[in-house]
Amino acid sequence: MKSSEHDLLAAFLRSEGDMKRYLTKATGSAADAEDLAQEAWIKLARNGAAALAAPVPYLLRIARSLSVDYHRTRKTLLTSHDIADILEVADEDPSPAEVLEERDQIRHLTRIIDSLPERQRKILLAVRIDQRRHADIARELGVTTRTVEMDLRKALDTCSERLEKLNRG
Q: Is residue 86 part of a domain?
A: no
Q: How far apart are CA 146 and CA 69, in angstroms?
A: 73
Q: Is residue 89 part of a domain?
A: no
pLDDT for 98-120, tens place per residue?
Answer: 889 899 999 999 999 999 999 99
pLDDT at 129: 92
State mean pLDDT over 48-54.
73
Lowest mean pLDDT among 52-61, 77-86, 91-100, 134-143: 77-86
- Which CATH number does the domain housing residue 12 bear? 1.10.1740
Can you say how many angstroms the Cα of residue 65 is from the centroid of all Cα atoms in its chain?
32
Q: How many domains does the chain have?
A: 2
- Which CATH number does the domain housing residue 158 bear? 1.10.10.10
Owning domain of residue 56: 3-79
Q: Please state the φ and ψ torsions of residue 90, each to the nearest 5 degrees.
A: -70, 145
Residue ranges of alpha helices (H) inside the chain are 3-27, 30-46, 48-51, 55-76, 80-87, 96-115, 118-128, 134-141, 145-168
- Nearest partner of 160 among 124, 119, 126, judged by Cα: 124
Residue 5 pLDDT exceeds 90: no
